[in-house]
Amino acid sequence: MGRPMQVARHWRHFREKYALIGGKCENDHVFFPKRPVCPVCGSRNVEEYQFSGKGKVISWTIVRNPPSGFEYYKPYPLALVELEEGLVVLAQLTDVDPEEIHEGMEVEMVTRKIREFGEDGIILYGYKFRPPMK
């Protein structure tokens, strides 16, 4: 896997690491990640849109043979999560026993460590989903 992103790019995309920031066009289509052109209608009039981060599991699997750099987490659950806004994202589930995962399970977005670059000591953070705290 490649090296972590440059410092300038990191700060430019800082908010996206701690919230699900996507886009919304003038025709009310929402999408993630944000892009300059709406993938549905082609509109270039796109504004930033922050998703709620709440959703439900629609499908999942357990990754037992992960790609290089993710061996520390194995085995880990990977799920398709349908957000309240209707968008579906692929994300790792965390803070849950794999035996408890089920279709329709409510989840919320959290920021967690994605991976660590050993020789540089750089930790890469991103979004994952977990069952809501009670």
In a domain, 1, yes or no: no
pLDDT in tens, 75-118: 999 999 999 999 999 999 999 999 999 999 999 999 888 877 76
Residue 72 belongs to domain spanning:
7-130
pLDDT in tens, 24-71: 999 999 999 889 999 999 999 999 999 999 999 999 999 999 888 777
Q: What is the pTM of this model?
A: 0.81
Rounded to whole angstroms, how far apart are CA atoms 82 and 69? Answer: 27
Inter-CA distances, 51 with 4, 7, 73, 84, 126, Å: 25, 26, 26, 8, 15
In a domain, 85, yes or no: yes
Please tell me whether the peptide bond between 33 and the residue prior to it is cis, using omega within 30 degrees of 0: yes
In a domain, 2, yes or no: no
State the DSSP H helix or E strand holding residue 16, giving kind and residue range, or none if neither. helix 14-18
The total domain count for the chain is 1
In a domain, 57, yes or no: yes
